[in-house]
A = this chain, B = another copy of it.
């Protein structure tokens, strides 16, 4: 159940029997032909599904992540690294104050990794806090599904192309991943990636996507047992 469907009294009642919560750490950034909010939508869908099976609460999505390399693709909204880790810290501290102790952060975006070290710093400071960080797209289970179908994962390609992230028609073709060296700035990233997709097929059979989603969901359910 999402916090938005509840009032504070509901949360107080929940805390009498459970201390777990799911956090959505998303991003608003270019995903080629897909929704700008893909990185919030996927972990949100996983959280909703896991919540339905377990009853664990789902906090409102943090819709912005760290995406400085995409700041030439209109619509990307990037938090500075320092801002981002402060937001995650404030979310965790607020929830810890009510008695939430096991927090599973479902991260949707690779650029958000800096929050992990801040989480460890918080775990040093807040007794009893158990935080976990799950990234669906490069989880072992998901990688195995991809490999079984002879596929590799790339940003904004088939792996993120779910019915709920699609906002338009997609090319049928497959993209050759561009080659480059070093860290690209936003200008160079746009020149390098063109439509914003990093490589591979733009879409695959829906059954594969179901397998991917179910593999990630199984992980989330497993992670929730901590």
Interface residues of A (CB under 8 A from B): 3-12, 15, 28, 30-37, 40-41, 59-64, 66, 68-69, 71-83, 85-87, 89-91, 94-95, 97-99, 102, 111, 113-114, 116-121, 123-124, 129-133, 167-168, 181-188, 195-196, 223, 225-226
Contacts and interface: CB of A to CB of B under 8 A. Distances in A.
SS class, residues of chain A in contact with chain B: mixed
Contact of A90 (B6, B78, B130): B78
B4 A182 contact: no
A42 to B, nearest CB: 12
9 contacts: A3-B75, A4-B41, A7-B35, A71-B124, A76-B94, A80-B90, A81-B114, A82-B86, A130-B183
What number of copies of this chain does the assembly contain?
6
A87 B81 contact: no
Contacts of A73: 8
B61 A116 contact: no
B60 A63 contact: yes
Contacts of A10: 75, 167-168
